[in-house]
Structure 1
């Protein structure tokens, strides 16, 4: 039976850390989903940074649950956790529980460990001008080698195809789920609920639903667009209200490009510039903000916080 401080720490504090871990992994994959090409160093940095944070946190949760007891030197134990070496953290977990990783998963752990410990701050050093961007190239070479792809040598990039997204999602899924199962089983043993995940949170998608791509979300958006545009689609007062609004005169792009903006506003910035031109030239009706501000906002449909929280 855990004493009160240990129970509170391992049950609540580490439970919050598990949510944070899942959020980091979700953010990494969500951002990856928006990229058309793996080309810009800052984009690859954002993906690797969030991934490495998420995996490091879940590794440390597993280590605490497996190794910590009332007899350890608390200060020394906590100091030993101050590391960002994902490979060594995995070894610590493996000393207590088996990890069913293949070569690709170990290579990915090495990649994010090297990124976080060596590459993350390298551009702050003047000597970086004499070296390539290791985080970008190591990442591209990892993906290319595993999927037998050719890196575009002219632009030094890879297309972020569905194959690439699925591969990275599957690789991260295996690593994250292995550690999560260890946490869940160990929590059962010591009588905590560290493994519990808030319903419909970012971490829920990662650890409970085990969904590591955004195919479902993107397909749902497409279906909503079809229903909005089709005469046999949505039929309610709110849809009628939208259809009775006078549309702006968008004509700079094909309609598909405007829909693309709904999926990825980062890659479709030109469409935003067209809207800003309308605003600058005063081509948007004065009360337009009031007319459209309720579209997509749930609190315009209900004033009850309980509804938003999903409580009765």
Structure 2
């Protein structure tokens, strides 16, 4: 296999997984946001999406433009850009890409964020306008959802709404799948495996699935109800039931449940957990038990297996 084939087959395949992971992370972070006013949270969303889409578009550009007669150095230098729309236009010179105004506007926002907005707080002028990425995101949502998120709400802030989440999901998925289809079609036409994705990966969820974080929230809630209410038993369930719970406050149930769906919520409960562990004194044994729960290489014999072993011993 020639180096160029290895490059496009495997190294760009790794990049595809990276880009899908970043896009997934950006979508999840937007889903978790309660308000649209916190600069650090908006920055995290835009950063993940901007880098993810930039890398995805560059994969498509390479597969479309590279051949054995091209100047490799010139191609690589041309990829030193953070303009998502310029990269998209290079793709569209070779194949049609059906994207509409919301998709182009989002790519333009991401390009502007990555090229300039993310650096602005390093400038003295930021003291007069320090949250431009927040305002840019709100302007984007306001334009395409016909709402007024640009109006400052001093006390309550701008709440993130399920309508905004659905719109962002739809827009991000459309771009992701449109560019991935270009990658897949070009890879297969060139007898490459660039588009192959690891089963269960975030990239597979983005490019081949219909990622919906709200459905993932339903999953953990259903699993929680199962563990709380099932009358069935197994060695694993017996183990879980045998670990005494810490004395958390039942009145804070909503705060505790929020930890399952938001990293930010965990910060408000970690202090209470640390207090409980301080009261334990020697916490090593409990931490060992916690290490067993969910560990990938820990297996419990099934009750049927134990019965078979017992029957064999008796015979």
Q: Give the TM-score normalised by the residue count of structure 2.
A: 0.89
CA distance in 2, matches of 1:173, 1:110: 16
What residue ranges of structure 2 are gaps of 5+ in the alignment? Answer: 301-315
CA distance in 2, matches of 1:255, 1:79: 54
Question: Where does residue 175 of structure 1 map in the other structure?
Answer: 175
1:1-312 correspondence to structure 2 within 5 Å: 4-151=2-149, 153-155=153-155, 157-211=157-211, 213-232=212-231, 234-251=232-249, 253-282=251-280, 287-301=285-299
CA contact (8 A) 1:35 1:267 kept: no
CA distance in 2, matches of 1:97, 1:246: 61
What is the CA deviation profile of residues 209-228 of structure 1, one whole-angstrom value per residue up to 9, with x for unaligned ones?
132x2122211111111111
* Coordinate RMSD, CA, aligned: 1.9
CA contact (8 A) 1:248 1:284 kept: no
Q: 1:209 to 1:231 in 2, by over 3 A?
A: closer
Displacement of 1:193 after TM fit?
A: 1.0
After TM superposition, the runs of 4+ consecutive aligned structure 1 residues lying more than 6 A away are none
What is the CA deviation profile of residues 260-290 of structure 1, one whole-angstrom value per residue up to 9, with x for unaligned ones?
2122231242222111122234477662222
Q: 1:229 to 1:74 in 2, by over 3 A?
A: same
CA contact (8 A) 2:19 2:203 kept: yes
What is the CA deviation profile of residues 132-189 of structure 1, one whole-angstrom value per residue up to 9, with x for unaligned ones?
4211101012113322334352158432222222211110111111111011111121
Q: Give the TM-score normalised by the residue count of structure 1.
A: 0.89
Aligned residues: 298
CA distance in 1, matches of 2:277, 2:50: 41
Bigger Rg, which one: 2
CA distance in 2, matches of 1:56, 1:265: 26
What residue ranges of structure 1 are gaps of 5+ in the alignment? Answer: 303-312
CA distance in 2, matches of 1:23, 1:292: 28
